[in-house]
Chains A and B, each alone.
Chain A
Amino acid sequence: MADSKRPSFPLALIAFVLLAVLAFAAGDAATGWAQSSTYPQTTLEPRSEVARAIDDVLDGIVLWVIVIFVVVQAALVLTVARFRQRPGGAPARHMHGNTTLEIAWTLAPAIILAFIAVPTVKVIFDNAKPTKGDIQVRVIGHQWWWEFQYPGKGVITANELHLPVGKTVSFELESVDVIHSFWVPAFAGKKDLIPGRTNHLWFTPEVTGTFPGQCAEFCGASHANMYFKVVVQPQEEFDAWLAQQKAPVAPPDSASLAARGLAIYQKGQCVACHMIDGVSYGVVGPNLGKVSTRATIAAGMFPNDDENLTAWIRNAPALKPGSLMTRQDMSDEDVAALVAYLRTRR
């Protein structure tokens, strides 16, 4: 028998490494080591009251989890170390159980769970209370991009959500195709966008800045490429942004390259899917009325520069798997004209 071959790997070392890794995790959660500058999409740096309440619940659970982890793993390791068979060691003591002990370790987890359950239930109800925010936003999920509507303000944009700092925003969440999930970790947990239903979510951004968000429910080929950004601004900047989004855009000079681009836009397939107020009324793709005010294209995949826009118009599916925007067989001049026209949309 192989009993004589005692393991050459020290169990204690493994246990120590595991404990060290977990201590690392605890330190991470407790000290905010996971800075948003390194991890822009971190869930551990809340920037709204809703996200903070979630984080507080998590912190409480993490403390209990660490205590339980250390106690139970230590009990396991010590038991194995102490009672391992060795020459001249005590024989096994036969016993079938101990009712007092078993009742005790049934009750102990129940009590710990009560400490976790109470704050959990409180935050469930706090974060779910119906709230009509200072500002309302309708979020509509599409494969694979985000539509943001500001009801009553006449603004529709895509993939870049602007919000005023310190104002509570309430969302209506919907989807036109498959289930998506709206997630900006800095501000709130996920909420699904479900076709045929309207979900609700609210939070109050506490600081200005740009915060990444991303679809969190698998939604098909380019689920990974369904990013968006939340730009939190001071009220006056936000108002200026709203005004810019609403401001009419003068048609391009008839002799300009942009004017040719407009003609191509109107004659081509663009109008079938895209909306530009007064020009086209498609609803399949993002609203292009102010496309050149946005920092990115293709739902956060690429910076919105001429080179990327050109490549995108030429062959979107090559850049974004499954993209519903089809490949456009146009001459270089036509694409350049189209880009020039879209650059006037700001």
Chain B
Amino acid sequence: MATTVAAAPTHATHAHTGLWSWITTVDHKRIAILYFFTALGFFFVGGFEALLIRLQLSHAGATVVSAQMYNSLFTMHATTMIFLALMPMSVAFFNYIIPLQIGARDVAFPRLNAFSYWVFLFGGIFMNISFLMNVAPDGGWYGYATLTGKAYSPTHSIDFWAVGLQILGVASLAGAFNFITTIINLRAPGLGFMRLPVFTWMTLVTSFLIILAFPVITVALVELMFDRLSPVPTNFFNVAKGGDPLLWQHLFWVFGHPEVYILILPAMGVISEILPTFSGKPLFGYAFIVYSGIFIGFMGWGVWSHHMFTVGLGPLGDTFFALATMLIAIPTGVKIFNWIGTMWGGSIRLVTPMWFAIGFISMFIIGGLSGIMHSSPPADTQQNDTYFVVAHIHYVLFGGTMLGLIAGIYYWFPKVTGRYMNETLGQWHFWLTMISMNLTFFPMHFSGLLGMPRRVYTYQKGMGFELYNQMSTAGALLLAVSLLIFLHNLIRSIRKGEVAPTNAWNGATLEWATATSPPPEFNFQKLPTVKTLDPLWHQEGPKGHKIDVGGTDGHGIHMPNPSYWPMFAAFGMTVMMAGLIFGLTLGVPGGLLFVYSTYRWALEPAS
């Protein structure tokens, strides 16, 4: 693993090999790698679920899976991709890149960071155990009342979903607080807010969205859990006792829409790093891009009811939420134009990360435009809950978030491993992805407009849905092939990739200034001082100032000690939460382990 620079004045160098070193690590870079591979694993689980869905829909009346299993598959495909793949994959980038980009030695709370990861891992496993018990969640990733009530979902399927999301929410919240604190407090000298790399900015905005949005779904889930699991059930969503199913929808989407931006903003940040690097010129309209990112994050709170244009809000409500939604198209458009402006006049190096960044822009435009189509409530009443919306979200979440994150993987891989990923395989991956994702998702616009509802395990002959579904299925299989090429490239390049210099792509931001790739455990022997935006591009010339990370700060480097208590605390908390479903025999020992581990954690010397 890491080769430490000679005579690094650190008083603690920690074990770098073995399972135990990974379990006890509090190094943001190693936690990032844990996040990455766990999220990648869940991504393949979610992808496998998607393939089963596509096979089931390949012809009318197919019987690849049962109706019940199908309902679980689409519920868990979405839940897995959103909460266990895309979000944690973004967090992997936050973890690895943010401390490096802001010139810090680690995140503000390294052990809390480890705790976040373990909670995420255990929460994800907990939710998927439901498949083994044959009670996988089956109420949709949005879990509308009253279907999720005990009367209509009597098994533990919804309990696994609700408790699982609560567990994962803890991981997201702890992580978000950590990154907010880190970005605000641990910036290198001179690194003012308007000198922050855009990826750092988008991480900050995303983290604020998380700490504001997750409490809302936490409240909603607590209400649902009281309705379902309390010995004396409450009636938040029980219509017969005066409950209101629309309460759930409002709470869910007040969380759910900002969640969309939680998913897309990090990818937009990644793109905003890659485009300048490979165009060889600074980001066009840095301030516009930052402000529009903040504006998108802010406006994300005023549009939740556009998910509810068919519930009968009345014309005034529909109008308000339609106009607010259309307004979001403006900062989004600004970002796209600024990205193109970044490339204009540049000298564009067309290598895999740049291809994926360009692919992101192109695909995200399609997702944005179909979004405008159903920002209009009349049009939405025909498109809502059809495959048209399935097409839209996949252009945004796959064409957008996933392509952006893949671009980031190719981009930062040399920083993480010291090696490039294979370019030929990368290009195969890119072009196959572009062809297969469009073959998968574009026909869904048609099947939707031609009347195919979503979340149906089957459809009848004679509706004309076969052709478009078969195109989607063929595309999905091809997409799987492209992802296997990616996986092969990733694993192969870790050991055999071409060796990369520390500034592998001539990037402008501080993560490229570390002494080695992968960076030493303490990142920077001496914390850099920043005087400009894009500091590494302003080192030469008469006004240039050298970014210097050698030498010492005049005192030793204090690195946090490894600790296994975060892992035990996370495990205890997960078991304790499982006790909500399975009773005190799990709840009490889990709770005790949680309390004990937290206590030991608190008393442990931090460094």
Query: Is this pair of chains taken from one and the same complex?
Result: yes
CB proximity of A46 to chain B, nearest CB, Å = 9
The answer to whether B381 touches A190, judged by C-beta atoms less than 8 angstroms apart, is yes
Q: When A72-B336, A181-B310 are in contact, do A89 and B450 touch as well, CB less than 8 Å?
A: no
Q: Could you tell me the distance in whole angstroms from the C-beta of A78 to the nearest C-beta in chain B?
A: 9
> How far is A64 from B372 in the complex, measured between Cα atoms in Å?
10
Stretch at the interface among A51-59, A241-249, A265-273: A51-59
| Neighbour of B355 across the interface among A7, A40, A44, CB < 8 A | A7
B129 interface residue, CB < 8 Å from A?
A: no
A38 near B445 with CB under 8 A, answer no
Is A85's CB under 8 angstroms from B450's CB?
Answer: no
CB contact under 8 A between A190 and B376, given known A5-B424, A113-B326: no
Report chain A residues within 8 Å CB of B287. Answer: 97
Which chain B residues lie closer than 8 Å to A295 at the CB level? none
Q: Does B208 sit within 8 A of A, measured CB to CB?
A: no
- In-complex Cβ contact of B362 among A76, A97, A219 (8 A): A76
A185 to B450, CA, bound (A): 9
Q: Are B450 and A42 in contact (CB under 8 A)?
A: yes
Docked pose: A61 CA to B459 CA in angstroms: 29
Contact A195/B279 with A106-B330, A217-B385 known, Cβ cut-off 8 Å? no
Residue total for B at the interface (Cβ-Cβ under 8 A): 105
* CB atoms of B376 and A192 under 8 A apart: no
* In the complex, chain A residues whose CB is within 8 Å of the CB of B68: 221, 321-322
Complex CA–CA separation, A195 to B329 (angstroms): 34
> Quick one: closest B residue to A182, CB to CB?
B310
With known contacts A6-B350, A117-B326, A196–B450 Cβ distance under 8 A: no
Query: Which residue, A21, A91, A105, A108, has most C-beta atoms of chain B within 10 A?
Result: A105
Task: Assess the B451–A41 pair: CB atoms within 8 A.
Answer: yes
Q: Which residues of B lie under 8 Å from residue A34 when comparing CB positions? A: 449-450
B334 within 8 A of A: yes
Contact string, A153-189, partner B, CB cutoff 8 A, digits 1/0?
0000000000000000000000001110101010011
Residue B288 at the chain A interface, CB threshold 8 Å: yes
Chain A count of residues within 8 A CB distance of the other chain: 103
Residue B146 at the chain A interface, CB threshold 8 Å: yes
Tell yes or no: A259 within 8 A of B by CB: no
A59's nearest neighbour on chain B, judged by CB, is B379
Q: Which residues on A sit within 8 Å (CB–CB) of B449? A: 29, 34, 42-44
Which stretch (A122-130, A276-284, A307-315) binds chain B?
Answer: A122-130
Pick from A131-139, A222-230, A330-338 the stretch touching chain B: A222-230
Task: Provide the residues of chain B in CB contact with A30, threshold 8 Å.
Answer: none
A interface list, Cβ under 8 A from B: 1-3, 5-9, 14, 18, 21, 25, 28-29, 34, 38-44, 51, 53-54, 57-58, 61-62, 64-65, 68-69, 72-73, 75-76, 79-80, 83-85, 89-98, 101-102, 105-106, 108-110, 113, 116-117, 120-121, 123-125, 127-128, 143, 177-179, 181, 183, 185, 188-192, 194-197, 199-200, 212, 214-225, 227, 321-322
With contacts A93-B346, A96-B283, A177-B151 known, what are 8 further pairs, Cβ within 8 A? A43-B386, A43-B450, A44-B449, A72-B340, A92-B347, A110-B330, A196-B244, A224-B67
